[in-house]
Amino acid sequence: MIFLRLDMTTLGTLRLLNSMIRRQVDSLYEYRMLRAHAAETLESLDIAQCTHFFPVHQLYREFCHPRCRTCPDFGPFLYIPTHSRVCLQCVLRHDPYRVAALDVGFACYPFLRRGRWDLPIVCFLDLLEGQYTSEMLIDVTHAQLMYQQQQQQQPPQSGSSRKEPAAQEWMYRLQDTYQRRLRSTVAFPCWDPHARVAEPGVYCYGCTKFWEISRGKSRRNPRNRQEHYAWNTTSAGSKGVDRAFRVPDLPQHFATCPDVVRKLWKGEDHTALRFGESVGRIIRVDASGGRGTGRSARVGKK
């Protein structure tokens, strides 16, 4: 259907034309599921002014795709410039997710000013020291691809070429940061059409606890703030920190979770405590994915 080739903003505008088109748009299963279960993601895309770049069928395809497009882990985020699902580890480490400020791209490659409408631009607001600041980000891989295509279309020039200086300028001025990479993503739940449930992802407290306790002493006095982050190291246990899981994937993870393995080896209890008190009912997941026996010690109300 042609409606699936339109973006969410255009479909929302069409709904206002008359009651017949409104019923047709509302009858789209993909449109209804996105509005019902990914409303916060759609709102963030509107704020970033990127909704119009991608059709509904592409957004829904990522909505139903649970895995990161770079690795087999669950991807709880949507990388806005390409509308692809991604996990935290990949978006912070891999080159295809590099982003840069738009003004830097214009300074390095002036031709982008002419073709900017073909380049997805992520707009965001940031609260810094009590004041809102705005910035526009572009995908570096996409910008470099456009530059290469533009170079191939131009006739060869004698003498020095612009290509090498531009590449050197990118390396100097295009200072990639973890903060900018995070700003180019948005939380994106995964829709399971068979179970009819949207999963935002769950996190393993044991992995975070293991990392905080067992990380090296040298990291307690980091040279810079980035050395505090688990995803900036290859130390044991760091891979599980900030890693999201789907509920059906938890039994497989618990088989190798360093905190669970250590507790089983020591014969320790699995009751979750906070400030020395039980925080409620603990539901154990057995190896087959079912719920095991529960262990609870409810905190009394004062």
pTM (2 decimals)? 0.76
pLDDT by residue for the chain (302 residues), tens digit each?
788 889 898 998 899 999 999 999 999 999 999 999 999 999 989 888 888 888 999 999 999 999 999 999 999 999 999 999 999 989 988 888 988 888 877 777 777 776 555 678 888 776 555 566 678 888 888 888 887 777 777 766 554 444 444 555 555 455 567 788 888 999 999 999 898 999 999 888 888 777 777 665 445 555 555 555 665 566 666 677 788 999 888 888 888 887 777 777 766 655 544 445 554 434 444 444 444 433 333 333 33
Q: What is the pLDDT of residue 79?
A: 95
C-alpha distances (whole Å) from 24 to each of 18, 142, 251, 296 are: 10, 35, 42, 50
pLDDT tens digits, one per residue of 124-140: 776 555 566 678 888 88
Cα–Cα dist 35/52, whole Å? 15
Domain boundaries, the chain: 2-95+183-192, 99-175, 197-295
Cα–Cα dist 228/232, whole Å? 8
Cα–Cα dist 126/159, whole Å? 44
Q: What is the pLDDT of residue 289?
A: 44
Cα–Cα dist 76/186, whole Å? 9
Q: What is the pLDDT of residue 80?
A: 93
Q: What is the pLDDT of residue 33?
A: 94
